[in-house]
Amino acid sequence: MVETGKTTQEFEIRDYLRTELMPHFMCPGCGHGIALRALLWAIHDLGIAKDNLAVVSGIGCSGRTAAYIDANTIHTTHGRPLSFATGLKLARPDLHVVVITGDGDSLAIGGNHLIHACRRNLDITCVLLNNEVYGMTGGQVSPTTSAGRYTTTTPAGNHEPVFDACELATAAGASFVGREITMHVTALRDLFVQGLKHSGFSFIEVISDCTEIYGRKNELGNSPEMVMSHKADIRPESYGNVVDEPFRPTDLNVGVLSQTDRPEYYTAYRQHFGKQVEGNDDPKKGGAVT
Ligand SMILES: Cc1ncc(C[n+]2csc(CCOP(=O)(O)OP(=O)(O)O)c2C)c(N)n1
């Protein structure tokens, strides 16, 4: 991870947006915008220069958010942002590489890429905007659609079991895993700060909202009501150690859910090859890249 200096300047979101692309395409009340703000705020607080930031995204409303960021951005293909990000990070380890993805993007079509990115533990921050639905394409069921919920492809309600993205990432080896809701903007910003500072693969799930397509179909209320309903669902991390059993069936853990100091990909690579080739300065054989 590149060294960053804390900035003393007040956060002004317009400094980080491509304002020439405004008005944006998001629906009123979409949670993705709140997540984008918190992410940019974290980047500002860490003093990460825009030139040193690369944001890679897939396809979807989630993926489209990257286009509005005034930094190096790559809008890739559906399900593949982590593959592009892996290549970029290997070629340019000096960059902060952030992936913005959706639940359809990286748990359905891109699920395989996600588990291997977690396993490799390259120094990338992956932000999963989970709105429980394929928002951009009209509201089809996704791997995180809650039980019983109506989507355009589950007219009788969803009966499939739901992926817990954080448990999946932890099991696959991500060395930093966290979750937040959009109601907690400053907590979300702080989680992004921790994830960005972490050396290794950091996976952050944001419980977002699709008000227009998902919320409307399921009569979940307006945007503030949807956001408030997540607040009722969460179980703060601080309760984790003192309560043995979930106190509500819908309890959702938030905060940093798991963190290990497993060596980051490059460090592990150097350690592995360094042992075999002492004093080697050939990068192709694991030597120093200068
Ligand atoms: C290979 C491929 N398959 C399907 C699509 C169509 N498609 C575009 S976005 C999308 C779903 C996006 O859902 P999600 O990742 O959950 O993001 P959201 O729009 O909800 O933020 C799909 C299926 C595509 N663009 N490319």
Look at residue 269 and tell me whether its pLDDT is greater than 90. Answer: no
Note if the bond before 224 is cis, omega within 30 degrees: no
236 pLDDT above the threshold of 80 = no
Average the pLDDT over each of 5-19, 237-251, 269-283 and give the range with the smallest value.
237-251
CA-to-CA separations, 60 to 32, 64, 135, 136, in angstroms, rounded:
11, 6, 7, 5
Q: What's the CA-to-centroid distance between 172 and ligand 1, angstroms? A: 23
Which domains are assigned to the chain?
A: 13-259 (3.40.50.970), 262-290 (no CATH)
pLDDT tens-digit series, residues 24-55 = 999 999 999 999 999 999 999 999 999 999 99
Q: Is 64 in the pocket of ligand 1 (CB under 6 A)?
A: no
Q: Tokens for 48? A: 């990460």
Residue 235 pLDDT > 90: no
- In the prediction, which pLDDT does 9 show? 82
For residue 285, pLDDT over 70 is answered with no
Q: Provide the whole-model pTM.
A: 0.90
Question: Tokens 């905060």 label which residue?
Answer: 255
> Quick check: CB of 59 below 6 Å from ligand 1?
yes
- What percent of the chain lies above the pLDDT cut of 90? 78
Does the beta carbon of 73 sit less than 6 angstroms from any atom of ligand 1? Answer: no
> Which residue's CA is the closest to the ligand 1 atom numbered 13?
134
- Pocket test of ligand 1: the residue of 59, 213, 214 to mutate, having most ligand atoms within 8 Å of its CB, is 59
Q: pLDDT of 147-197, one tens digit each?
A: 999 999 999 999 999 999 999 999 999 999 999 999 999 999 999 999 999
Indicate whether residue 134 lines ligand 1 (CB < 6 A): yes
Ligand 1 mutation pick, 36, 57, 105, max ligand atoms within 8 A of CB: 105
Within 8 A by CB and 6+ apart from 215, the residues are 29, 209, 221, 222, 223, 226
Calculate mean pLDDT across residues 247-268.
83
241 has a pLDDT exceeding 90: no
Query: What is the DSSP pairing of strand 176-181 with strand 252-259?
Result: antiparallel
DSSP 285: G
User: What ligand 1 atom has the least distance to the C-alpha of 136?
Assistant: 19
CA 134–ligand 1 middle distance (angstroms): 6
End-to-end CA distance of the chain: 16
| Alpha-carbon torsion angle 224, 227, 230, 231, nearest 10 | -70
For the Cβ of 27 lying below 6 angstroms from any atom of ligand 1, the answer is no
Residue 152 CA to ligand 1 centre (angstroms): 14
Name the residue at shortest CA distance from atom 3 of ligand 1: 78
Q: How confident is the model at residue 7 (pLDDT cuts 50, 70, 90)?
A: low
- The mean pLDDT value of the chain amounts to 89
Query: What's the pLDDT score for residue 286?
Result: 56
**Does residue 206 line the site of ligand 1, with CB under 6 A?**
no
What burial class does residue 12 get, using C-beta atoms within 10 Å of its C-beta: 0-12 exposed, 13-18 middle, 19+ buried? Answer: exposed
Residue 72 has φ and ψ, to the nearest 5°, of: -80, 115
pLDDT digits (tens, 9 = 90+) for 75-102: 999 999 999 999 999 999 999 999 999 9
Residue nearest to atom 20 of ligand 1 (CA): 135
Per DSSP, helices labelled H in 173-257 are 185-197, 216-217, 223-233
Q: What single string gives the DSSP state of each residue in 127-163?
A: EEEE-SEETTTT-EE-TTPPTT--BTTBTT---SPPP
